Amino acid sequence: MTKYLSLLFAALFCSLIFFGNLFYSVEASPNEALITQVSVISVEKLPPEAKKTLDLIKKGGPFPYDRDGIVFRNREKILPLAPTGYYREYTVPTPGIRNRGARRIVTGQKREAYYTQDHYQSFYRIKY
């Protein structure tokens, strides 16, 4: 009898785990930031090309790439959630690469800036 109760308990436990994960998901509210995935970097520690891009952003250009200044949609949801149009992205040139490469600076309307060196897989918040 205890063998059957143990099997029944194990089956119930596995079902709860499976169906609990199936129907339960964690989503950030629009005001929550998934900031735990973002580290901080000082301007001094940025690569020289990123510093130059920051200077161009502060001056309002001119930018070397046509796509500089386009809306960054934050599809990865790594940066704090914000309405579409809140973020803009700018290319950080990579020496030895002919295309735009993976490095970007993303800016927000509140003057915050983020650096990614792996095409939005991770970010550093730039500390001025």
Alpha-carbon torsion (116, 118, 119, 123), positive or negative? negative
Instruction: Compute how many other C-beta atoms are within 10 angstroms of the C-beta atom of residue 59.
Output: 9
Residue in 49, 76, 89, 112 annotated catalytic: 89
Residue 119 annotated to the active site: yes
User: 123-127 and 70-72 as β-strands: parallel, antiparallel, unpaired?
Assistant: unpaired
8 Å CB contact between 90 and 55: no
Classify 27 as helix, strand or coil: coil
Residue 76 annotated to the active site: no
Classify 52 as helix, strand or coil: helix
Single out the residue of 82, 70, 85, 79 nearest to residue 116, CA to CA. 79
Q: Catalytic site residues?
A: 89, 119
